[in-house]
Each structure stands twice: as C-alpha cells, then as structure tokens.
C-alpha cells in the first residue's frame, strides 16, 4: 500500500466530500426555513424554535450527511498529506459557480473566470507537488 500518493480515486473522494458538505448545509437550511419568523426571547422560545426542527427529516438527513462526510474525509487523511488534501478541497469554490452557470443560467464576470482559473492552476500545482517528492524519496 502506497502512502501519500494522490490517485484519481482520492481526488474524486475529496470532491465528493465537498458535494456532501453542500448537501449538509442545504438540509440544515431546509430544516430551519419554516422557523424563520420565530423570535427567541427566553428559554421557552428556544424549545418552540427547536421542536419542529428536531422532528424534521431534513435535520437528521443533515446529521447523516455530516457523519458520512467525516468518515470519507478521515479515510482521505489516512492516505495523503493534510497540506495537499485541504487545498484540493478548495475545488468546491469552483463547483458552485459552475453549477450556477450551467443549471441556473447565471452570467459570470471576467474576474470570476479569472478566479476559477487561478483555483484550478493552484489545485494542479499542489497536486503535482506530491509526485515530485515521491520521486525524490526512494
């Protein structure tokens, strides 16, 4: 078993944790939306606020998603350097704008495209930094 080798499989796992994280946020948001007009002034209000959230399926789906993300992320960290895994996880910053363009028909400015390009270049450079070290060690 090679340690510290970035394979395509690991790369897809990292991207999948980003997607799951987005899904988690969506679930938590959905579970809390019906309570948007509840004002919390005392302890009783907290219970009134939390009760429908706790009974909403979305909260528990969110928790499940947190757990799955945690297990996948731990398994990634058991394979590669932290200083490589975290920068590669920044590809999530690209996913959201790309989804907005292709599925929501949003228009991107030149600066947005430059930002996406910079992140892609950064991810490629960080990913390639691991191969070079691999070549030196043996």
Partner 1 sequence: MNQHVSIFAILFLIILSNVFDTINQLFLKTSVNSLNLNINSIRNVISFILKLILIPKVWVGFTFCTLSLLVWLFVLSKADLNYAFPVGSAHYIFIALGSRVFLKEKVGFKRWVGTIFIIAGIIMLTCSNY
Written as one string, the DSSP assignment of 78-103 is TTS-HHHHHHHGGGHHHHHHHHHHHH
Q: Give residue 54's Cα distance to chain centre.
A: 24
Q: At what angle do helices 8-32 and 92-104 cross, to 10 degrees?
A: 70
CB 87, min distance to partner 1, A:
5
Quick check: 77 binds partner 1 (CB under 8 A)? Answer: yes
Site string for partner 1, 27-66 (x = CB under 8 A): ----------------------------------------
Site string for partner 1, 108-137 (x = CB under 8 A): -x-xx-xxxxxxxxxxxxxxxx--xx----
Number of residues that bind partner 1 (CB under 8 A): 38
Among 40, 64, 71, 95, binds partner 1 (CB under 8 A): 71
- Residue pair 6/80 in contact by the 8 Å Cβ criterion: yes
CB 125, min distance to partner 1, A:
3
Q: Can you tell me the distance from the alpha carbon of 32 to that of 50, in angstroms, rounded to the nearest whole number?
A: 9
Return the DSSP state at 55: T
Binding positions for partner 1, rule: CB under 8 A: 1, 71, 73-75, 77-79, 81-84, 86-87, 90, 93, 97, 109, 111-112, 114-129, 132-133
């Amino acid at each position: 078993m090679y340690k510290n080798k970035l394979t395509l499989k690991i790369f897809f796992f990292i991207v999948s944790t980003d997607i799951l994280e987005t899904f988690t946020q969506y679930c938590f948001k959905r579970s809390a939306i019906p309570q948007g007009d509840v004002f919390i002034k005392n302890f009783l209000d907290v219970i009134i606020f939390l009760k429908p959230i706790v009974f909403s399926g979305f909260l528990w789906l969110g928790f499940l998603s947190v757990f799955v993300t945690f297990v996948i992320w731990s398994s990634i960290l058991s394979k590669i350097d932290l200083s490589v895994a975290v920068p590669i996880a920044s590809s999530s910053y690209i996913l959201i704008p790309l989804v907005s363009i292709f599925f929501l028909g949003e228009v991107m400015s030149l600066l947005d495209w430059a930002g996406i390009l910079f992140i892609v270049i950064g991810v490629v450079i960080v990913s390639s930094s691991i191969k070079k070290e691999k070549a030196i060690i043996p």
